Structure 1
Amino acid sequence: MKVLLTAINSKFVHSNLAVRYLNSFTKDLEYDCKIREFSINDREEHILKEIIEEDADVVAISTYIWNVEMATRLANLIKSVNPKIEILYGGPEVSYDSRVFLKEHIGDYVIEGEGERTYREFIEYKLANRKVEDIKGLHYKNNGEVFSNGTRPLMTFDEVVFPYEEDEDLNNKIVYYEGSRGCPFNCKYCLSSTSHGVRFHSIDRVLKELQYFIDKKVRLVKFVDRTFNCNHKYSMAIWDFLIKADTSTQFHFEISADILKQEEIDLLRNAPDGRFQFEVGVQTTNDEVLRNINRFVNFSDIKEKVIELLSIRNIKQHLDLIAGLPWENLESFIKSFNDVHSIKPEEIQLGFLKLLKGSSMREESDKYGMVYSPYPPYEILKTDKISYKEILILKKVEAVVDKYYNSQKFNNILNYFYPKFDTAFKFFYELGEHFEKKGYFNRNIGNSEYYKVFIDFNNEILNSSEEVLKDIIRYDYLSFNKKRGIPEFLKVKIDKGEEEKIKNKYRDRYAFREYSIEKFSIDIEEYIKKGIVINKDTYYLVGNNGELIKIL
């Protein structure tokens, strides 16, 4: 018997943890198991061809909000080509209303909830070693009728087998890892609120498994632990191990900043630059809204810890906001955005509430006038506090924030504009409106156009001098792009004689393949360091990483 464990990831670089868990948990059973990973950007015809050519008896599909529609279409196509192939679904998108899902869709089985042991017993059933009706957590069809076997109790977490193979090729992949399951909090919008308690692997086991990724020279490991630092002993031991490790691998953690202890912050000061990335769920800075969604925390506590981490300057921080929460209107959300922006984290994610199946937020949606898409990912359309038009405003702001703020490639340009507007949100709002007016949201624009936008924006919205702005744009452009591709509107001609004189003077010290000679109308270094505009012709060597060397 052959089973094909199928993952349809949201991006090519992602690796699917679920199918690897199922494979590793049944390694000792005598059946043929193969993993195939695709992405939602692959053509369905291609995925179908690859699946059919595997000639499997069972195709198991890992389902999430981003792939469930493609997964069900593929199931229909698979059955059309070969009705004998059985379809087994699992994953969060089918775990809440499993019986209804199986009744309404093409397929033969659904695993509800935590899947490792249920899947193992399913394989034993297929090998004629177990009765199907005895498998807790499984829903199945028999002559078109759906049968359910009841809920399976949660496993002891150390029963789970490490999901990665010794010879597995993880080059250029974002690798997911789970050191704990569950969450100590009960936020209404999150599926973690449907189960209580946190189960941990032993620390020794986690350290051994992390060494595997280090030895593999994996680029990025993302912990999927819902609140990594909810156990002080656990987080301290792992951070200490990774800080001392000889590795270039980066590690990403979702943390609650407000519960960080001083001992943890003191330890994190020793982390090599770039070793850790932290994702901090702020959601809103309105403390009343936080309490009403069962997040019993004050923004001031989060802010204090985030600022302290930022002062260390060795950990990249990503702060999340959620638009469309109950009780929060546009004015409150704008304040939340400005509050978070004032901290100046490396990234701000402006997300939109998704009313997930099984979440208490969905169950209470009528109470707050919530209207959401009935289609995955079930995103909010409006509430009794925020209209659809206001949601669209935030969509535009989200797009320009992600492109310009989160890329960290336009920082000096943004710093030029911030003081010209009442708030950071007002600036991004006006920039988003400008994008829409120019039709940039409806077409792909080239790299140089993303810089030219600011020239047009400055002329049309602020009607102020271009010269200083062009210097700042040119510096940011050269910091991340090759000089030979510099667009015409940013070029500044330097007298050939002056250029030759500079090269002769500095040739012994600098390789001009790595530096460009640039003339600015302001002292660009003073502006970058202090934000001061000094109108003065200056010459610099500008390195590929933005390094500045004053030469005249």
Structure 2
Amino acid sequence: MPNNNKTKKVGYSEKTTMPPLGIISIGSYLKMHGYEVDYLDLFACSMKKSEFLNYVSDFNPDIIGISSYTENFNVVIKLTELIKNAFPKIIIILGGPHVTFCPDEALEHSTVDFVSRGEGEMTFVELLEALNYNTLKLEEIDGLSFRNKNGDIVHTNNRKFIVKLDSLPWGDMNLKKKEIYNIKQLIITSRGCPGRCIYCASSALSGNKYRMRSAENVFSEIYYKYKYKGERYFAFLDDTFTANRNRLNQFCELIKKHKLDIVWRCDSRTDILSYEMIDNMYDAGCTSVHIGIESGSQEVINKINKNISLQKSEDLLAYMSNKGMQVMCSFIIGHHCDTKDTIRLTIDLARKFKNNYGAVVGIGVNTPFPGTTLYEERDKLGVKLESTNWSTYDLVQPVISTKYLTREELQEIFYEMQELM
């Protein structure tokens, strides 16, 4: 029997016009368990405060869940204050990468009732059951942080990661103002990443475990949306869609076997990718691949634990370019071991990839997000935090200085690279 409680999921993003897939997954899981759910991406909708409050009043939710990243944490807290001032009885739960690693910081704010650490699907359902039916004590819900009756912050045991991702429902994309999004059919088919790059929190978020949906499960979602929704363009947002070669080949063979006329793109790593895989992906409709290169210095790449070969990376880029595929490459400046000379190598390589292979180049400033090795071991790496304002952690504004470069020098170099690109 459907549950009458209403649960509101609010997404906020300052970086991109892509649907908030994390809260969509949680919301879909809640719907599967009989809860009434609505989604709202405040970036996509660009609501005024009065419009937002009217929207909340009309839906009248019991709980509002908000996804928090480091760069939007301050805004999220302001949002919780806005909600609590207008609707003090609404329960607010925060989730997402930032509060997973910094739950105490979130719970220092009285407007935050709960923090869901890590994967939120099961935590959210169990919390609702505990609040509605007293079936569980809060202390028995894994992955939850909250203040007890004495005001002390309590962290329950970490929740075990969901291994059988095929058991989760497909993401319900029934979003408000869906037409705002650049790409409407975004799909995540795995969680985690086999890489251990020191600037990335993916492995820490996933407990160093890479899990994936089966090729058949992924194909079924694609096939349904293709045949019954008329969708042809898909983007896979896995950290590394190609991590498992067998699954990738099975998926591509299913696409070709059923003659689906689709176009898709994904993220990969050049230590995993091969010419054979590229051929199979291309024949199955893949037209674009994003690859993280991160530096033009092999020495720097080794020190940041990226573990790719620049020569192999260039060979693969050239191969994809010759096939007519679009290649997107990301670079980072300001690694803990970067010097002006190594950054010059990065600039030169980025320009080469752009000019010789038509690569779309993206450049960011090294940013120590909570949960990354870079953040946790910053003193050991000779990295100094020059800003503790989370709003500046946007990959554009330098927030660190290193043994070799000041914050001001990094900003100057970043502007130079933007002009060159």
TM-score over 0.5 (shorter chain): yes
- Do the aligned partners of residues 104 and 309 (structure 1) sit closer, same or farther apart at CA in structure 2, a change above 3 Å counting? same
Aligned to 2:214: 202
Q: For residue 389 of structure 1, what is the aligned residue in structure 2?
A: 408
Q: Does 1:87 pair with 2:92?
A: yes
- Aligned-partner residue type, residue 322 of structure 1: I
SS at match of 2:218: helix
Q: Would the aligned equivalents of 1:138 and 1:148 in 2 still touch at CA under 8 Å?
A: yes
C-alpha displacement at 1:109, in angstroms? 0.6
Match of 2:77 among 72, 93, 97: 72
User: Are the equivalent residues in 2 in contact too, given 1:112–1:137 (CA < 8 A)?
Assistant: yes
Q: Aligned-pair distance for 1:43?
A: 3.8
Helix, strand or coil for the counterpart of 1:259?
Answer: coil
Q: Distance in 1 between matches of 2:176 and 2:12?
A: 18
1:375 partner amino acid = N
Normalising to structure 1: TM-score of the pair? 0.67
**Post-superposition shift, 1:365?**
1.6
Paired residue secondary structure (2:318) = helix
Which amino acid in 1 is paired with 2:316?
Answer: K
Of the three residues 133, 138, 141, the one matched with 2:139 is 133
1:97 maps to what in 2?
A: 102
Q: Judge which range, 52-61 or 368-377, deviates more.
A: 368-377
Return the alpha-carbon distance in structure 2 between the equivalents of residues 30 and 271 of structure 1. 37
Is the CA contact 1:324–1:380 (under 8 Å) kept in the aligned structure 2?
Answer: no
- The answer to whether the Cα contact below 8 Å between 1:183 and 1:192 also exists between their aligned partners in 2 is yes
* TM-score normalised to structure 2 length: 0.86
Query: Is the Cα contact below 8 Å between 1:170 and 1:218 reproduced in 2?
Result: no
Aligned residues: CA RMSD: 2.6
Q: Are residue 332 (structure 1) and residue 342 (structure 2) matched? A: yes
Percent identity among equivalent residues? 23
Aligned partner of 1:34 in structure 2 is 38
Partner of 2:389: 375
Give distance in 2, aligned partners of 1:122 and 1:397.
Answer: 49
Instruction: Supply the AA of the counterpart residue of 1:388.
Output: R
Q: Identify the residue that residue 168 of structure 2 maps to in structure 1.
A: 160
Q: Is the 8 A contact 1:180 1:225 kept in 2?
A: yes
The answer on whether the counterparts of 1:57 and 1:85 sit within 8 Å (CA) in structure 2 is yes
1:242-295 C-alpha deviation (Å, 9 max, x unpaired): 5677667542211012322232133245355xx522111000121111111112
Instruction: Report the Cα offset of residue 328 of structure 1.
Output: 0.7
Name the amino acid aligned to 1:343.
Answer: F
Aligned mate of 2:129, from 124, 128, 134: 124
The C-alpha deviation readout for 1:430-489, integer Å capped at 9, x for no partner, is: xxxxxxxxxxxxxxxxxxxxxxxxxxxxxxxxxxxxxxxxxxxxxxxxxxxxxxxxxxxx
How far apart, in 1, do the equivalents of 2:101 and 2:35 lie?
Answer: 29
Q: Which whole-Å deviations, capped at 9, do the CAs of 1:116-164 have from their partners, x for residues lacking one? A: 1111111211221332221111112234332221211111222322122
Q: Which moved more, 1:47-56 or 1:327-336?
A: 47-56
- 2:316 is aligned with 1:305: yes
Give the structure 1 partner of residue 280 of structure 2. Answer: 267
* Number of aligned positions between the proteins: 399
Specify whether residues 391 and 48 from structure 1 end up closer, same or farther in structure 2 by C-alpha distance, changes over 3 A only. farther
Residue 365 (structure 1) aligns with: 378
Preserved CA contact (<8 Å) 1:255 1:280: yes
CA distance in 2, matches of 1:372, 1:301: 36
Structure (1 or 2) with the larger CA radius of gyration: 1
3-state secondary structure, aligned to 1:340? helix
Tell me how far apart the structure 1 counterparts of residues 34 and 246 of structure 2 sit (CA, whole Å). 40
- Cα distance in 1 for partners of 2:302, 2:86 equals 52
Counterpart selection for 2:236 from 210, 219, 223: 223
Does structure 2 conserve the Cα–Cα contact (< 8 Å) formed by 1:79 and 1:85? yes
Aligned match of 1:14 in 9, 12, 18? 18
Return the offset for 1:341.
1.8
Letter in structure 2 aligned against 1:176: L
Report the Cα offset of residue 397 of structure 1: 2.9
Partner AA of 2:297 in structure 1: N
Match of 2:157 among 145, 150, 153: 150
Which stretch shows the higher mean deviation, 288-297 or 354-363? Answer: 288-297
CA distance in 1, matches of 2:103, 2:74: 15
Amino acid at match of 1:347: V
Given the superposition, is the C-alpha separation of residues 134 and 353 from structure 1 closer, same or farther in structure 2, using an over 3 Å criterion? same
Q: 5+ unaligned residues in a row in structure 1: which ranges?
A: 406-552
In 1: Cα distance, 2:226 partner to 2:385 partner: 46
Q: CA deviation at 1:91?
A: 0.9
* Partner residue, 1:412: none
